[in-house]
């Protein structure tokens, strides 16, 4: 595997029941990965204490919850989940691939 580059088409996968994840890169300060959802799948609201996070919707469309807000985001949207703010994917409305970054990386 190349040291400095990953190609999403090689890493996207889906599974029944709940979203599938893939790790792309992990440094001391930043984690980058994928979250892949079939339509109807969700990610329960959760908090990363002291860690900022974003989702970039690569393809598809999903309903997100961040803090007290709930909104749809589709391909081309960046969703921001600041440190200590509860966030999750209420429901994937299509087959949806998201690039995710978390800083600092989860343990």
Site for its own copies, rule CB under 8 A:
2-9, 24-25, 27-30, 32, 50-54, 56, 58, 64, 66-67, 69, 71, 73, 76-83, 99, 101-104
Residue 19 near residue 41, CB atoms below 8 Å: yes
Closest CB to its own copies among residues 15, 70: 70
Best CA proximity match to 12, nearest among 80, 69, 58, 53: 58
Smallest distance from its own copies to CB 103, Å: 3
Closest CB to its own copies among residues 9, 16: 9
Which one-letter DSSP state was computed for residue 106? P
Closest CB to its own copies among residues 37, 64: 64
Best CA proximity match to 4, nearest among 30, 28, 25, 32: 25
């Amino acid at each position: 595997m190349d040291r400095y580059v990953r190609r999403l088409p090689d890493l996207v996968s889906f599974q029944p029941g709940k979203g599938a994840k893939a790790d792309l890169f992990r440094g001391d300060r930043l984690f980058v990965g994928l979250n892949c959802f079939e339509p109807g799948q969700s990610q329960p609201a959760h908090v990363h204490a002291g860690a900022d996070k974003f989702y970039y919707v690569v393809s598809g469309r999903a309903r997100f919850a961040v803090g007290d807000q709930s909104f749809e985001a589709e391909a081309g949207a960046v969703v921001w989940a600041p440190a200590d703010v509860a966030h999750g994917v209420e429901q994937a409305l299509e087959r949806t691939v998201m690039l995710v970054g978390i800083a600092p990386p989860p343990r």
